[in-house]
Amino acid sequence: MQKYISQQNLNILLDKLIAAGKRVVAPRLNAGTLLYEPLTSSGEWAQQAAPLPRRSGKEAFFPLCEDIMSYEKEGQQVTVTDIDPARFPETVLVGVRPCDAAAVPVLDAVFSWDYKDQFFLERRRKTTIIGLACTSGDDACFCTAVGLAPDETKGSDLFLTPVEGGGYACETFSEKGDALVANHQELFAEPNNSKALPLAAPQIEKFDLKKVKAWLDDHFEDPAWDSIATRCVGCGACAFVCPACHCFDIVDEGTEKSGKRRKNWDACGFWKFTHHASGHNPRDQQPKRYRNRIMHKFKYYDDKFGQTLCTGCGRCIRLCPVGIDIAAIVEDISKK
């Protein structure tokens, strides 16, 4: 379904959704840092700020930290209480950049594979994604290199493209998107002929992902890993800002009397990630840990699910403390 919505009506839509008790999450400035956060009014949507929020949209489904169970002990009586996913709120994720929205269906594969992760899947079921095309970017952006685009609609239920003269061309891509438009049809107009604003134009040439994978298939051991990642300092910044990284750790925290079991983001860059109870660590050096990051994104996930675990958002490039540039690395591999 194709429609048009003015900026004013889009704001009205968000305010109506908030008033109806929906959780509306959009890029919002938190003490100067742009993050996807729940809005209390449409005015908080920081549309003019830098195109990408500092962290990705994945946390709408896969939070940085969440309780998955709690326990209490009184005398000999132990009570364990599960978290009830039915209580997760209905959510509308607005202004999601194409690289963030496209990562969500990629994550569906792993969270609904042999084990159905009810925390992820229930949030996913209850969330409507409103994607927004990018009209600006920087030289860390490389969505086009991994086969996506600044107006990629993958993952979006409703997609907005800014048009000349203001407002957005809208297109729906799912029942959720259709329902959102149908329930607020007074705010949407028929599509007009306004031209879309010029889109961002990432500079990196499209990778030959088949060729990249073919090289990775044969080069688990290769001196290139040392030259790529000897300088990696082993933090989790790249994984934590990534829209597609999804490893987590489960910890029990509390006292003998009461406590919680929590699920936290984890990162393969950490030394502790593969540290065995025996003391042995199969990834005993940083290049082996960084190799896993590239392998997982461009080989293992493809082997398992036929997809690439990278949407070219460029966050890891912008935020790597030591300037490790995944786009440059994959480009080099594709030319080997």
Partner 1 sequence: MTQPIDTSIYSAVTEAIQAEARRILSEGLVTAIVGYTPARRKGSAQPIVISQAVEAAKLVFSAACVNNLAVYLTKAKKEIPKSGRIGIVVKGCDLKALVGLMGESQLKREDLYLIGVPCVGVLASTIQPDTALTSDTIAPKCGECDAHLPVGCDFVPPQQPFTPELDKKYANEIARLEALTPSERWAYWKEQFSKCIKCYACRQVCPFCFCEQCLCDRNKPQMVETTPRPAGNTAWHIVRAMHLAGRCAGCAECERVCPMDIPLNLLNRKMAKELKELYDYEAGFEVNEKGPLVSYEEKDDQSFIK
- Point out which residues bind partner 1 (CB under 8 A): 30-33, 54-55, 64-65, 138-140, 226, 230-231, 233-237, 239-241, 249, 251, 253, 262, 264-265, 267, 270-272, 285-287, 317, 319, 321-325, 327-328
Between 40 and 112, CB nearer to partner 1: 40
> Per the structure block, which two tokens stand in for 309?
């675990």
- As measured in angstroms, the least distance from the Cβ of 201 to partner 1 is 15
Which one, of 61, 15, 76, lies nearest residue 41 by Cα? 15
> Per the structure block, which two tokens stand in for 234?
């082993």
How much of the chain is helix, strand and coil, in % rounded to 5?
35, 20, 40
List Cα–Cα distances, 85 to 18, 89, 117, 263, in angstroms.
21, 9, 10, 14
Between 32 and 306, CB nearer to partner 1: 32
Between 288 and 297, CB nearer to partner 1: 288
List Cα–Cα distances, 56 to 36, 103, 152, 258, in angstroms.
7, 9, 16, 33
- As measured in angstroms, the least distance from the Cβ of 120 to partner 1 is 18
- As measured in angstroms, the least distance from the Cβ of 156 to partner 1 is 25
Which one, of 121, 43, 53, 134, lies nearest residue 88 by Cα? 121
- As measured in angstroms, the least distance from the Cβ of 187 to partner 1 is 34
- As measured in angstroms, the least distance from the Cβ of 229 to partner 1 is 8
Between 38 and 234, CB nearer to partner 1: 234
Which one, of 93, 142, 129, lies nearest residue 315 by Cα? 142
Between 112 and 230, CB nearer to partner 1: 230
